[in-house]
Amino acid sequence: MTHTAPSAPPPFGRALCAMITPFTEAGELDLPGAQLLAARLVSEGCDGLVLSGTTGESPTTTDAEKSALITAVREAVGDRVPLVSGVGTFDTRHTVELARQAEKAGADGVLVVSPYYSRPPQDALEAHFREVADASGLPLVLYDIPGRTGTRIEPETMIRLAEHPRIVAVKDCSYDFLGVQKVLGRTELAYYAGCDEHILALYAVGGAGYVSTVANVVPARLRAILDAFEAGDTPVSARLQQRATPLIELLMAAGLPGTVTVKALLNSLGLPGGSVRAPLRPAGRDTVDGLRAAYEEFIAV
């Protein structure tokens, strides 16, 4: 028995990677590395790529670098998968400019995080997202990650924003499963799990898929969780999610940002990663050894 498919296909595919932004040893943007990594991710099962998000170190890349990254990755993957570019900042005017820039560079959608630090109230937050959605012709993904921004996009705000024709999806890092299901039940928003431990749980209640940091290193293994569920084999899907848990925990919940741990593991595997930009600092040797051991154990199963 197969599970009922969503009424409409997800706007950007189901298995998306929140791609790191490779840098050179000198700390410059590594566009050839980004192209190699993007091509690998697509060949190993990613339906779409999210550039310049949290994992992509968007706070420390310039506007010109964000645009160049879209252009380079598009050249590498062609039209095989959609590209979503992070454009969210704490400044509405700047966010509008970045959305228009992403459209010109060839992005298929924009990821817009809640304005951070200033902590706008819900009416101001709603106005911010509407202004950005009106600024370009691109569909918009709301990025709800209150642990980093200090502000939740409340479910009622989500429900109102869903009325906008270009606000089509959510990357959810709210850790509010009840609130998520309220929005799922009352809107057509495509909900993507932004926390890797929620991939199966959110998909099982009607989510669209995931935007995963861990997919930078194990794209095919995470895609298999969704594939098993779609094939009607929930026990297998659950086992695959559980097997991924130790690696997810080390990459995402071990006291270091995912960008740091993922780049450390990619570098150890000889894949494009490179340095991180300050204020982030590279992982130490013990961390790298632990990540590599967890990775080897995971892929050996």
Question: What's the DSSP call for residue 274?
Answer: -
What pLDDT is stored for residue 301 in this prediction? 79
pLDDT 10s digits, 74-121: 999 999 999 999 999 999 999 999 999 999 999 999 999 999 999 999
Q: Catalytic residue among 66, 116, 143, 191, which?
A: 143
Which spans in 215-257 are helix H?
Answer: 219-230, 234-252
pLDDT 10s digits, 140-168: 999 999 999 999 999 999 999 999 999 99
Confidence at 7, pLDDT banded by 50, 70, 90: low
The pLDDT of residue 2 is above 50 = no
> Nearest to residue 223, comparing CAs of 57, 84, 43, 39?
43
Right CATH for 15-230 from 3.20.20.70, 3.90.70.10, 3.30.950.10, 3.40.50.300: 3.20.20.70
Q: Catalytic residue among 66, 171, 203, 263, which?
A: 171
Known catalytic membership, residue 203: no
Known catalytic membership, residue 116: no
Domain coordinates of the chain in residue numbers? 15-230
- Phi, psi for residue 276 in degrees, rounded to 5: -110, 160
What pLDDT is stored for residue 8 in this prediction? 76
